[in-house]
Amino acid sequence: MAAIKNAAKVAGLAAGAVASTSVQAVDLPEDRAETMYHLYDGGGVIAQGPALLVRKSMLDRVSLSGSWYVDAVSNASIDVVTTASKFKEVRNQGELGLDYVVRDSLIHVSGSRSVEPDYQASTLSVDLTQDVFGGMTTVLLGYSHADDKVGQHGTPGWVGTAHHWQYRLGLTQILTPRWQASANLESINDDGYLQSPYRLARVFGSYIHENAPTTRESKALKLSVTGDITPEGANNRRSLRADYRYYWDTWGIRGHTLELAYNRNLAPGWLLESTLRYYRQNHALFYSDNAPVQMLYVSRNRELATMHDFGPGVTVSYTLKSIPGKYDVKLSGSYQFIDFHYADYTKPDTGKPYSYHASVFNTVLSATF
């Protein structure tokens, strides 16, 4: 484990995913299979591996899904090489899900488990999606609970546990035959061991173990609008999407995420998806690059620093074979570039603000049937 990353940080079922496809919200998810190879390379970290997903409906009311995701990580990031040594580890995550349709409602239940040598996380989620107002409005309510066990290499047993509670509320509204908008609110509350047993903070120029609060409460509100901007008479469909997310928590972090996306059919069977994403945040109350005074809580976790990142992404998909009403097979490739800049996290050797860029790549072979 290189950093505390609990289940709650990542969890958050389908609030946007389900709600953003509101016209199909109370339909069962389509039967599909996906296999992916993914790669992240940036800042001395390489994370790669395969992932699989299978989803199959039964009796027209139930859909079962299972997925497996592998992260094989080689870590030589700046904080690791500064205070420790390069390491490798593998994270495996499995998930089982069930979707059930009752009239205009879709009930989703899922459980996931993530295991790596010094960190284990188990998550249980329940979501309810309901169509109202003639199907023009979709409401989503969701809840997740996660339990984590945090370990440390060389130390028997666990050094701590953490618990997470998540509450989701989503609303999607069809505005016109071409435009729809959505709002999603998610609250995440954490309790327990929320720091890393490895990470060091700097006080008066000396390194000591970080000490983070044992509780954290956060909220995120995401607003999104998507529209079909295909000119009348044009054959190739195209769409535009704009997302904005505002984040705030009791650690003093305020984050702004802005994403713009443009999709279009290039030719029969070809789809282009392009995105532009910008993010910025201020640092946590107890974050310090080099604390000038002794504080109860102190951390030099880059994730809690004043930083921003920016980058474009592009995905191209091609339909290898399609028999309408029976099945289709698609192949896609995706590349994303991200530029990270830290205002108050400095390189120990030069004392200058740290920055780096990363490449994110994946290729997916998928089939619907």
Partner 1 sequence: MVRVRPVLAMFLAAGVLASTAGCAFKPIEPWVKPYERERLADPVMKASLNELPGRQQDHVYVVREGSRGATGVQGGGCGCN
- Candidates 101, 126, 128, 136: give the one binding partner 1 (CB under 8 A): 136
184 binds partner 1 (CB under 8 A): yes
Residue ranges in 61-80 that form contacts with partner 1 under rule CB under 8 A: 67, 69, 71, 73, 75, 77
Q: Which two tokens stand for residue 357?
A: 């860029």
Nearer to partner 1, 99 or 206 (CB): 99
Subset of 91-110 contacting partner 1 (CB under 8 A): 91, 93, 95, 110
- How far is it, in rounded angstroms, from Cα 215 to Cα 70? 29
C-alpha distance across the termini of the chain, in Å: 38
Our finding on whether 12 is near partner 1 (CB under 8 A) is yes
Contacting partner 1 (CB under 8 A), which of 11, 139, 212, 291?
11
In terms of C-beta distances under 8 Å and separation of at least 24 residues, what long-range contacts does 26-29 make, across chains too? 26/101, 26/103, 26/104, 26/105, 26/106, 26/129, 26/130, 26/131, 26/138, 27/101, 27/106, 28/57, 28/60, 28/61, 28/62, 28/63, 28/99, 28/101, 28/106, 29/55, 29/57, 29/63, 29/65, 29/99
Minimal distance in Å, beta carbon 62 to partner 1? 18
Closer residue to partner 1 in complex, CB, 205/345: 345
| Size of the chain, expressed as the number of residues it contains | 369
**CA 198, 204, 206, 207: dihedral to nearest 10 degrees?**
0
Among 43, 202, 300, 354, binds partner 1 (CB under 8 A): 43
Residue 160 as a binder of partner 1 (CB under 8 A): the answer is no
Q: Which is nearer to partner 1, 113 or 163 (CB)?
A: 113
Residue 40, interface with partner 1 (CB under 8 A)? yes
Q: Out of 228, 269, 329, 335, which residue is the one contacting partner 1 (CB under 8 A)? A: 228
In angstroms, the CA 59 to CA 176 distance is 34
Which of 22/346 has CB closer to partner 1?
22
202 binds partner 1 (CB under 8 A): no
Smallest separation, CB 206 to partner 1 (Å):
23
Number of residues that bind partner 1 (CB under 8 A): 121
Nearer of residues 51 and 208 to partner 1, judged by Cβ: 51
As to burial, measured by CB atoms within 10 angstroms (0-12 exposed, 13-18 middle, 19+ buried), residue 102 is exposed
Nearer to partner 1, 176 or 294 (CB): 176
Q: What minimum distance in Å lies between the beta carbon of 24 and partner 1? A: 6
Contact segment (CB under 8 A) with partner 1 among 153-161, 205-213, 289-297, 361-369 equals 361-369
Decide: is 237 part of the binding site for partner 1 (CB under 8 A): yes
To partner 1, the closest distance from the beta carbon of 205 in angstroms equals 24
**Per-residue contact string for residues 241-280; x = within reach of partner 1 by CB under 8 A:** x---x-x-x-x-x-x-x---x-xxx-----x-x-----x-
| Closest CB to partner 1 among residues 48, 211 | 48
Contacts of 16-19 spanning 24+ positions with Cβ under 8 A: 16/170, 16/182, 16/184, 16/222, 16/224, 18/106, 18/108, 18/127, 18/129, 18/138, 18/140, 18/170, 19/129, 19/138, 19/140, 19/170, 19/171, 19/172, 19/182, 19/184
List Cα–Cα distances, 168 to 16, 63, 125, 186, in angstroms. Answer: 10, 22, 11, 4
